Amino acid sequence: MKIEGSWKLAAPRETVFRQLMDPRFLARSLPGCEKLDPLPDGSYQATLKIGVGAMKGTYQGRVEIVDALPPESFRIKVEGKGAGGFVKGEGKISLTAENGETLLNYTGEAQVGGVIASVGQRMIQAAARQIVDQFFAAFSRTLLPSPASSTPSGGAGSPAS
C-alpha cells in the first residue's frame, strides 16, 4: 500500500525538523501513543492505541529514524503488531522551506498483515490516511501555540498535487 501526501506547517524548516526528531513531541503527536521509549540503538519502542472509529487496537512496535539529513529529510521505519495483525512500513519525509513556513511531503509503502489485511482491504487506504492526518494535525499543534496556523495543503489530507 502506498501512502503519500503533504502538509503545510507554520514553522520554519529547522524547527519542524528538530521537533520531528524529538521523542517528546512525537509522543504527543502520535495518535493513541501510550509509550515511546528510546532504545540503545537509537530507535524507539512504542505502544500505540490506534484505529478508526470503534475499530481500535493496541500495537507494540518499533519506530526508527534513518538517513537523517537535517533539516531536509529523513526516512522512517515502523514495525508493529497487535491483535489485529501487523504493520510494517517505510517512508521518506522531506521538508521544503517556503517563506518561513514548511512544506512537508511524505511518501511511503506500508504492508499490513493478519486480520486487518484480510477484512479491511476496502478501508485500509482511507484509514491509513486518516491516521497520518491525525498525526500531522496533532504535530502541527505542537509547533505553535495557535493551532489555527497550520492547515493541510489543498484541503484536509489531500495528496501533494
Partner 1 sequence: MIPEPFEYHAPHSLAEATRLASELGEQAKLLAGGHSLLPMMKLRLAAPRHVIDLGHLQELRYIREAEEKIEIGALATHFQIESSALLNEKCPLLADTAREIGDPQVRNRGTLGGSLAHADPAGDWPAAMLALDAELQAVSAQGERWIAARDFFVGLMSTALAPGEILATIRVPTLPARSGDAYFKFRHPASGFAVVGAAVRVKLSEAGHIEQVAIGVTGVGAKAYRAADVERELVGKSPTARRLVEAAAHAADGVEPNADLFASAEYRHHLAAVYVRQALERALEKARA
Partner 2 sequence: MSVKLLGERIKRKEDPRLIQGRGHYVDDLPLCNMLYLAFVRSPHAHAQIKSIQLEEARKMPGVGAIYTGKDLDGRLGLIPCAAGIEGLKIPDHPCLALGRVRYVGEPVAVVVANNRYQAADAAAKVEVDYNALPAVVDMDRAVAPSSPLVHESLGDNMAFVAKLEGGDWKAVEADASVKVLKQRLVNQRLAPLSMETRGVVASYSPGEDTLTVWSSTQIPHLLKTQLAVMTGTDEARVRVIAPEVGGAFGSKLNVYAEEGVACFVSRQFGQPVKWIESRRENLMATIHGRDQIDDLEIYYRPDGKVVGLKCRILADLGAYHQLLTPAIPTLTALMILGSYNIPAVFVETKGLFTNKMATDAYRGAGRPEATYIIERVMDLVALELKLDPVEIRLKNFPPPGKDIVLATGVSYDTDNYQKTLKKVLTLSSYKKLRREQARLRKKGKYLGIGLSTYVEICAMGPSSRMPAGGWESGTVRVEPTGKVTVLSGTSPHGQGEETSFAQIVAEELGVPYDDVTVYHGDTNQVPMGIGTFGSRTTAVGGTAIYLATQRIKRKMARLAAHKLGVKPGEMVFRDGKVEREDGSKSMKFAEVVGEAYFAKQLPSGVEPGLVENFVFEPPNYTYPFGAHVAVVEVDGETGEVSLRNYYAVDDCGRILNPMLVDGQIHGGLAQGIGQALWEEHVYDENGQLLTGTLMDCAVPKAHQLCWFETANTETRTPVNPLGVKGVGEAGTIGSTPAIVNAVIDALQPFGARHLDMPLKPEKVWRILKQGPAQAA
Q: From the list partner 1, partner 2, none, which binds 152 (C-beta under 5 to 8 Å, kind-based)? A: none
Nearer to partner 2, 88 or 141 (CB): 88
Min separation Cβ 84 and partner 2, Å: 9
Nearest to 110 by CA among 79, 82, 138: 79
Task: Check the CA dihedral 61-67-69-72 and report its sign.
Answer: negative
45 binds partner 2 (CB under 8 A): no
CA atoms of 85 and 151, how far apart (whole Å): 32
What residues from 69 to 98 belong to the interface with partner 2 (CB under 8 A)?
81, 83, 85-86, 88
Bridge partners (DSSP) of residue 126 are none
Task: Check the CA dihedral 17-21-24-30 and report its sign.
Answer: positive
CA atoms of 73 and 84, how far apart (whole Å): 31
122 binds partner 2 (CB under 8 A): yes
Residue from 39, 69, 119, 126 binding partner 2 (CB under 8 A): 119
Min separation Cβ 34 and partner 1, Å: 13
Burial class, 95, CB count within 10 angstroms (exposed 0-12 / middle 13-18 / buried 19+): buried
Which residues in this chain contact partner 2 in the complex, by CB under 8 A?
81, 83, 85-86, 88, 111-115, 117-119, 121-122
Site residues, partner 1 (CB under 8 A): 51-57, 83-84, 115-116, 119-123, 125-127, 129-130, 155, 157-159
